[in-house]
Structure formats: C-alpha cells, structure tokens
Amino acid sequence: MKAFKFSLQAVLDNANNIKDECSLRLKEALDNLRAVENLKDLHINMLKDNEAKLLKDCNSITFREIKIYMEELAVKIEQMNKEIEKLTTIKDQRLEELKQAKITCSAYEKIREKKYSLYLDEIRKFEEKQIEELINYNYIAKAE
C-alpha cells in the first residue's frame, strides 16, 4: 500500500509562508500607524501647552515666538494627518492581502483534507478486500 503524500504540500507551504509574510507586513503597518498617531498626539499636546502659555502674561516677543512655534506645530500636525491617511490606506491594503492569503491557505487545506480522506477510504477498501479474501480462503480451505 502506498503512503499518503500530499502532492501540493510545497504549494501549501508557500501559501502559508505568504500568509505569515502578510501578517508581518500588516503588523509593521500597524506599528508605523501607531507611531505616527502617538507623535501627532504629542504635537497636539505641545500645541495646547503653548496655547495655555499665550493666555498667560507674556511680552510681545515671547508671544510672537510662541505663535510662530504653534503655526509650525499646526503644519506638522497636518503633515502627520496626511501620513496617517497614507498609512491607513497601506494598512487596509495589507489587511486585504492577508485575507486573500488566508483564503488561499484555507482552500489548499481543504484540498489536502479531501485527498487525505480519499487516501483513508482507499486504505479501508484495500483492508476490506484483504479481509474478504482471507475469509474466502479460510472458507474454501475448511470446505476441502
């Protein structure tokens, strides 16, 4: 009796590797997104702190410096918003890639399970045939 060999094992392994790679790429995209969001939050907090400084007593030179710094922070925050949009798009793309990779792996797993169950059925039929032949041989041997 031949041993079970899944002929598409290399394909399944490759699909699993692609799925793992997609998972890592998604994790990397999420990490980048979190880092930019944290940096944006930091800049927003710095902007709020400087707004509080403006409300306090300060001379015109300090007021001007704080105002220029706040404008720079606002520009940086706007750039980070654009970066977050890009990273969100990348995250969505990588999430879709991961979903497709999981679907592919699932399909190959089902093929493997089906082939394995066919193999088990073949073994069962072979064993039944062997048992039937043995019973028939024993029956014929007793009859003689």
The DSSP 8-state label assigned to residue 30 in this structure reads H
Residue 99 lies in a domain: yes
pLDDT digit string (tens) for 36-95? 999 999 999 988 888 877 777 667 777 788 888 889 999 999 999 999 999 999 999 999
Token pair recorded at residue 138? 């024993």
pTM of the model: 0.67
User: Is residue 35 assigned to a domain?
Assistant: yes
Name 90's Cβ contacts closer than 8 Å, sequence gap at least 6.
29
Distance CA 70, CA 74 (A): 6
Tell me the torsion sign for CA atoms 53, 57, 58, 64: positive
Q: Is residue 122 part of a domain?
A: no
Asked, for residue 42, whether it belongs to a domain, the answer is yes
Answer yes or no: is 95 within a domain.
Answer: yes
Q: Is residue 98 part of a domain?
A: yes
Number of domains in the chain: 1
Whether 41 is covered by a domain: the verdict is yes
Q: Are 98 and 22 in contact (CB under 8 A)?
A: yes
Confidence band, pLDDT 50/70/90 cuts, at residue 14: confident
Instruction: CATH number of the domain at 94, please.
Output: 1.10.287.1700
In a domain, 64, yes or no: yes
Supply the pLDDT for residue 118. 87
Q: What is the pLDDT of residue 80?
A: 94
Q: State mean pLDDT over 98-119.
A: 88
Contact status, residue 57 vs residue 34, Cβ threshold 8 Å: no
Q: Which domain holds residue 106?
A: 9-113
